[in-house]
Amino acid sequence: MDLEQCNFLAEDLLIKIMPRIHLDVEKIDGLYLNFEPRVPTEVPVWVAMFLKKKQICTVIPPTWLTVEDLNTISQAEADSPSFTEIPERFFELSHILITQCQDDLENLEQLRTLVKDIWDKRSSKLRTSTMEFLETSEGGHVNMNKITQFEIAHTRDFMVDASATIGKLSNVYLSIDEE
C-alpha cells in the first residue's frame, strides 16, 4: 500500500458534521443522506469535505483532535520506548482536517505542531528500530506493533532499498571470504 492509497482509505472513515441547511439526498454513492440544520450526523470524510467546500456544513473534529488529547499522545510517545496506540488513520485524517477544515478547528497552530511532534517522535523510533534491525538481523522479517499503514508506506522504499543493499554487501563479503 502506498501513501495515496492510505489517504484514499482515510476518506472512507466516518466523521461528524453539523449541516447548515436541510438536505435530503436520496443517494450519493450508495449513501442515503437526510440532513437537518444543527443536527449532527456522521458521513464519510469524502462527503464531509465535499459539503464543507460547498459551505453546507461544519466539520466536527474527532474527540482526539484537541490540544489536550494530542499532548497526551505526544507525551505517551515520548515516555515509551516502543510505539504507542494512536487513532485509526491518525496522520491521514489529521492532515485532511488541518488543511481543509481550518475554520472548524480550535488552536489550529498548536494542533499542527503537536501532530508534527508526534510524527517526528514516531519517525525517529521507526528509523532507529529499522537501523537496529538491519544491523543485527539475519532473518528476512520483522514484527512491528502499533505502527500505522501510513508509516509503513512512508518507510517502505527505504526498507526495501536498505535490505537490498545489505544483501548485495553480504554477497560481496561472502565472495571475498571464499577467495
Domain 3-131+141-178 matching CATH 2.60.40.10: the answer reads no
Edge to edge, the sheet with strand 41-44 lists 41-44, 14-19, 57-60
The residues with which 76 forms a beta bridge, in sequence order, are none
Q: Write the DSSP symbol of residue 78.
A: H
Percent of the chain with pLDDT over 90: 56
- What pLDDT does 23 receive? 79
Q: Convert the pLDDT of each residue in 90-110 to its tens digit.
A: 999 999 999 999 999 999 999
Using pLDDT thresholds of 50, 70 and 90, give the confidence band for residue 128. Answer: confident
With contact defined as beta carbons under 8 Å apart, do 56 and 21 qualify? yes
- Higher-scoring residue by pLDDT: 98, 29: 98
Rg from Cα positions in the chain: 21
How far is the CA of 171 from the CAs of 10, 44, 119, 133, 147, in angstroms? Answer: 41, 50, 36, 18, 31
pLDDT at 113: 98
Question: For the purposes of burial, counting CB atoms within 10 Å of the CB of 73, is it exposed (0-12), middle (13-18) or buried (19 or more)?
Answer: buried
Query: Among 61, 16, 7, which Cα is nearest to 35's?
Result: 16
User: pLDDT per residue over 154-179, tens digit each?
Assistant: 877 766 666 666 666 666 655 665 65
pLDDT computed for residue 105 by the predictor: 97
pLDDT bin (cut points 50, 70, 90) of residue 137 is low
Give pLDDT, residue 108.
97
pLDDT at 138 over 80: no
pTM for the structure as a whole: 0.81
Average pLDDT over residues 73-86: 95
Residue 81, burial from CB neighbour count under 10 angstroms (0-12, 13-18, 19+):
exposed
